[in-house]
A = this chain, B = another copy of it.
Amino acid sequence: MHGDSLAVAQRSLGDPSIAYPLWPPMTRGCPATSTPEIAYPVEVDYAYDKVQAGLFDREIGPDLARWAPLLPPLHAPTLGEGGTPLVEIEGVFVKDESRNPTWSHKDRLNRCTVSGALGAGAPGIVAASSGNHGASAAAYAARAGLPCVILASADSPPAIGDFIRSYGAVVLPVPAAERRPLMRRIVDELGFHPVSNLSVTHTGHGFGPEGYKTIAYELHRQVGVPAAVFVPTGYGELIYGVWKGFTELRRLGITSATPRMFSCEPAAGGPLARALATGLPAVSVEVRESLAYAIDCPVNGYRGVVAVRDSGGGAVLSTDEEMAAAQRDLARRGLWHELSSAAALAGYRKLGERFDGPVVCVSTSSGFKDLGVGSTPTVPLDPSWPVVREVLRARGI
């Protein structure tokens, strides 16, 4: 399975001339270029000259091993991630990532991070997350038979706690400020492999964004090269992964163009937009209240800067109200996705630009993940026909 990988090294995004061995996976960014203020991620490099031409001709389907040559060695077994459909709504293509094993895009990332943990011989994994990432990491660890610890916050939706615990993970609800110190301690004292960020600005796991590249490979088969791709953006791993996939297709001569990449952040924060506006690789911002908790980050990762800048794209900020309107419109056409997912469509609308080619919005997860879902009690209705008829009439029926 993992014998097919053409991965050869880890390479610094801070200085691409610096390469490190492929193992062990680097989980604190590039030591040579990072400073106390800015951390630069690493990525995986491949023997691109050995990629066989037929790789991109076969049908897509669930299991990232389909793309094994251009992924890190896949030591972790599959849960059937990827191969998600593209649904056209109002002339925009929605890439429905809620159709993954734990119903979010994070499964593509965690097939790769848990593979990293297994390849490194770690006795378990640890992550800080109160949402999609924690559940996905827990599921892939469970599938691989690896213990998993999730540092969650006490104010995440209770359904998400049930979700993560179901996979057998140990969930520790601790204050936000304690999460990173505890994660470091679990890494240092127990030897657990971290699958979320440990550095001052976001670098995360060097193998993770490789999984997201497969979205680009799939989009290429489904719709060709889009003119623009709108991506809900927290730390920028997703937008970078999709961008990297398109650059590889061009590098390999499969395509000649690449899409413009647009990062879609909540207006309540928006560190990537700020970093791009100021020309800095990463910045911290104050984060105001937002219900888009999955992407409401106080600091960006350098990966997002690379994706937006090198693709000639842009950064868009949307308010919670704009995201809620997009979320409602998606649901009224059959896709009930979380508020953070709707940041992509909200961003496309807010930008208001016309593109000469397909526009893709990446939708990350289902509506079940939102805060407040299930908190409205059901009020029984008087079942007499005049009452029912009046309720229907009020709704235009």
Nearest neighbor of A152 in chain B, beta-carbon distance: B378
Q: Are A142 and B392 in contact, CB atoms less than 8 angstroms apart?
A: no
Q: Within residues 158 to 182 of chain A, which ones have a CB less than 8 A from any CB in chain B?
A: 158-159, 161-163, 166-168, 170, 172-175, 178, 182
Taking CB atoms, residues of chain B closer than 8 Å to A395 are: 147, 170
A354 within 8 A of B: no
Main secondary structure of the interface of A (DSSP, over half): loop
Among the interface residues A84, A159, A377, which one has the most CB atoms of the partner chain B within 10 A? A159
The answer, among B80, B166, B186, B333, for a CB contact under 8 Å with A336, is: B166
Nearest neighbor of A81 in chain B, beta-carbon distance: B85
A61 within 8 A of B: yes
- The oligomer's copy count stands at 2
A98 within 8 A of B: yes
Taking CB atoms, residues of chain B closer than 8 Å to A190 are: 392, 397
Taking CB atoms, residues of chain B closer than 8 Å to A99 are: 62, 80, 99-101
Q: Are A149 and B392 in contact, CB atoms less than 8 angstroms apart?
A: yes
Nearest neighbor of A145 in chain B, beta-carbon distance: B333
Q: Within residues 128 to 173 of chain A, which ones have a CB less than 8 A from any CB in chain B?
A: 135, 139-140, 142-143, 147, 149, 152, 154-159, 161-163, 166-168, 170, 172-173
Q: List 23 A-B contacts (CB under 8 A).
A: A61-B85, A62-B83, A62-B85, A80-B86, A80-B96, A99-B101, A101-B335, A139-B334, A142-B333, A147-B395, A154-B380, A155-B378, A157-B374, A162-B374, A166-B367, A167-B331, A168-B331, A173-B378, A173-B379, A174-B388, A175-B380, A185-B385, A190-B392
Excluding A59-B59, A143-B334, 19 further A-B contacts by CB distance (< 8 Å) are A63-B85, A80-B85, A80-B87, A80-B96, A96-B101, A99-B99, A103-B368, A135-B336, A139-B335, A142-B333, A142-B334, A157-B374, A166-B331, A168-B332, A170-B391, A170-B392, A182-B383, A182-B388, A368-B368
